[in-house]
Amino acid sequence: MSSASPAPIFELTSSRQFPDWLAEQKLSLAFTTYQAGKLFLLGLQPDGRLSVFERTFNRCLGLHATDQTLWLSSLYQLWRFENVLEPGQTAESFDRLYVPQVGYVTGDLDIHDVAVEDSGRVVFVNTLFGCLATISDTHSFVPLWKPPFIDRLAAEDRCHLNGLALENGKAKYVTAVSQSNVADGWRDRRHDGGCVIDVQTNAVVATGLSMPHSPRVYRDKLWVLNSGTGHFGFIDRDKGCFESVAFCPGYQRGLWFHGDYAIIGLSKQRENRTFSGLDLDQNLGKAQVDPRCGLHVIDLRTGDAIHWVRIEGVVSELYDVIILPGIRRPQALGFRTDEIRRVLRVGEESSL
């Protein structure tokens, strides 16, 4: 008789004061792993211990949140979730309940970063076609912008466009792994072909980066993850160069800010050509540390990692991380349980 194979493990641990930090900052976190197909919501239980809530969405990547809304990209859809709890209302000690309300079927565009401009327009990085795009009621996407070095839209992932930053409520900067104009050409320039582009002027504002991700504008600085080296920092926009603030022991993707802190997602590298042979390998060796999967909280004033979350087992790669301010314990509905049938919310009565 053959014994059943053991269930894959998932283990999440944190620095000792991390739950207290969440409580002090009055926030919770959301992060995705496309490798395991999970959306995680990290908050606090009533007794102050960590609350870890997960839902399954195939190849989920980009996240964006507004006050009551959560956007999530998945294998061939872009989902909009809405919170159905009223202010002060809880459901089994959860103070947010995100329900999938609208799903746009985009096809497999390999959507990476997602953002909502102040106008309400949803903008996402269409990595397969190497452009910025928005949603459509009738088409897979509507193209908005492409890099100046891409001669035409083609489903070829030429430069591996991945990250998007807003400034003053509008799309402003993107990151790309290279400036290649041929199919899958970015893989040949992983070490130093990365760039940051101003989408409003078409200017390439920084080059020489290694697989950059997650550009963000915060406190008048353009921050970026120089993922192929393991360094987090900002772009000197006058000199067009990268200034490191901290080294993190993992392949970085996902960046958000709160007060004096940056929250960064870390992944273990896959053993394939995409992730092997980068400077990150040497930098991990110099630091005498193994690559980690999890989150790092960096103090922007010192560059110190003041808190961390470490994930072991079935999850080894993260993509995006965002904060949910003012929320203590969030949860979301998925499609693999019966709950979604029973959560009903009636709008205000109208007339014919």
Q: Rounded CA gap, 336 and 208, in Å?
A: 44
Is 31 inside a domain boundary? yes
Residue 5 lies in a domain: no
Q: How far apart are CA 195 and CA 200, in angstroms?
A: 15
3-state secondary structure of 282: helix
In the chain, the amino acid numbered 318 is L
Instruction: Give the Cβ contact number of residue 214 at 10 Å.
Output: 26
Burial of residue 302 (number of CB atoms within 10 Å: 0-12, 13-18, 19+): exposed
As a whole number of angstroms, the distance between CA 145 and CA 311 comes to 37
Are residues 53 and 330 in contact, defined by beta-carbon separation less than 8 angstroms? yes
12 falls within a domain: no
**Residues 315, 39, 307, CA angle at the centre, nearest 5°?**
65
CB atoms within 10 A of CB 134: 17
Match 């009636």 to its residue by tokens: 346
In a domain, 72, yes or no: yes
For residue 297, is it left (φ>0), alpha (ψ between -120 and 50) or beta?
beta
Please count the other Cβ atoms lying within 10 Å of the Cβ belonging to residue 17.
11
Distance CA 163, CA 177 (A): 10
* Structural domain boundaries, residue 85: 18-339
Q: CA-to-CA distance for 349 and 9, rounded, in angstroms?
A: 48
Residue 32 lies in a domain: yes
> How many independent structural domains does the chain possess?
1
pLDDT of 55 reads: 96
CATH classification of the domain holding 136: 2.120.10.30
**Under 8 Å between Cβ of 162 and 176:** yes
- Residue linked to tokens 């993707």: 253
Is residue 260, in this structure, part of any structural domain at all? yes
How many residues does the structure list for the chain? 352
Is residue 10 in some structural domain? no
Order across the sheet with 122-126: list the strands: 111-116, 122-126, 131-134, 142-145
Residue 349 domain flag = no
Digits of tens for pLDDT over the chain (352 positions)?
455 666 678 999 999 999 999 999 999 999 999 999 999 999 999 999 999 999 999 999 999 999 999 999 999 999 999 999 999 999 999 999 999 999 999 999 999 999 999 999 999 999 999 999 999 999 999 999 999 999 999 999 999 999 999 999 999 999 999 999 999 999 999 999 999 999 999 999 999 999 999 999 999 999 999 999 999 999 999 899 999 999 999 999 999 999 999 999 999 987 666 777 899 999 999 999 999 999 999 999 999 999 999 999 999 999 999 999 999 999 999 987 788 888 888 888 998 8
Side-chain-side CA neighbours of residue 147 (13 Å)? 30
Tell me the whole-structure pTM to 2 decimals.
0.95
